[in-house]
């Protein structure tokens, strides 16, 4: 199971702020700042950060233990499959699967879109029909945030300039050139949902393929059946 890169980035930023706060507290002592209320608030904040960090580690360790103990269960195998998708870390994979629950309840990607609240909603009143489409946001808020995080991670670039998922990166650049950035991100989120659905449906690890290669793969069985 790959490491939780997206999660550790957030922890790295939090740790950096924590170190700066510690340095500020030590500097205050060195320069003779003797305002008790300031010391109290600083150390109270540091203590809270340490306790939250410890609690977070305990929760993650517990999750890993449960996954190891139930490694042969289909649900756990599905988490591992999601973890093979670029931009999906361990914690995100767990979150998405916990929100999906029983994947067999979903027969097509559109049902998954609707469950995540990513399906379009049109405002209508009497004879008036709205011309702008927005996400319905009726579904799982937690799952929607997870998919949003995966979409953002997927279109990021590596140090060499290559996209985490070069095809989704190219798709985002095309969309963002025509639409507002958040609309383009929404389109990428739909692509991510398609990928999640395909990986869980086929019960196969993610393989990076171009849209053309993807179409050819699914045309072959259809031609063979004909």
Q: Which residue has the higher pLDDT, 174 or 121?
A: 174
Q: Which residue has the higher pLDDT, 134 or 67?
A: 67
Q: Lowest-confidence range among 17-21, 92-96, 134-138, 207-211?
A: 134-138
Mean pLDDT over each residue of the chain, to the nearest integer: 79
Specify the pTM. Answer: 0.69
Q: Which residue has the higher pLDDT, 83 or 13?
A: 83
Q: Is the pLDDT of residue 61 over 60?
A: yes
pLDDT category at 124 given cuts 50, 70, 90 is very low
pLDDT category at 35 given cuts 50, 70, 90 is low
pLDDT of residue 123: 44
Please give the average per-residue pLDDT across 64-86, as a whole number.
Answer: 92
Please give the average per-residue pLDDT across 8-31, as a whole number.
Answer: 69
Q: pLDDT tens digit string along 152-207?
A: 999 998 888 788 899 999 999 999 888 888 888 989 999 999 999 999 999 999 98
Q: Is the pLDDT of residue 76 over 70?
A: yes
- 178 φψ region: left (φ > 0), alpha (ψ -120 to 50), beta (else): alpha
pLDDT category at 221 given cuts 50, 70, 90 is low
Domain segments of the chain: what residues? 1-69, 71-225
């Amino acid at each position: 199971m790959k490491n939780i890169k997206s999660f550790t980035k957030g922890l790295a930023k939090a740790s950096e702020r924590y170190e700066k706060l510690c340095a500020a507290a030590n500097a205050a002592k060195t320069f003779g700042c003797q305002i008790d209320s300031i010391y109290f608030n600083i150390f109270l904040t540091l203590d809270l950060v340490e306790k939250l960090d410890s609690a977070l580690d305990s929760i993650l360790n517990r999750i890993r233990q449960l996954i190891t103990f139930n490694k042969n269960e289909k649900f756990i195998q599905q988490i591992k499959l999601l973890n093979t998708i670029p931009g999906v870390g361990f914690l995100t994979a767990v979150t998405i699967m916990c929100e999906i629950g029983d994947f067999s309840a979903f027969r097509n990607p559109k049902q998954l879109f609707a469950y995540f609240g990513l399906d379009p909603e049109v405002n209508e009143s009497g004879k008036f029909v709205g011309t702008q489409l927005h996400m319905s946001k009726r579904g799982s808020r937690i799952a929607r945030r997870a998919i949003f995080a995966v979409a953002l991670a997927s279109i990021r670039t590596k140090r060499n300039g290559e996209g985490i998922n070069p095809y989704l990166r190219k798709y985002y650049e095309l969309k963002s050139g025509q639409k507002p950035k958040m609309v383009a991100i929404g389109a990428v989120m739909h692509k991510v949902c398609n990928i999640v659905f395909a990986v869980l449906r086929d019960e196969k690890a993610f393989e990076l393929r171009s849209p053309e290669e993807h179409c050819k793969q699914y045309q072959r069985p259809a031609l063979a059946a004909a």
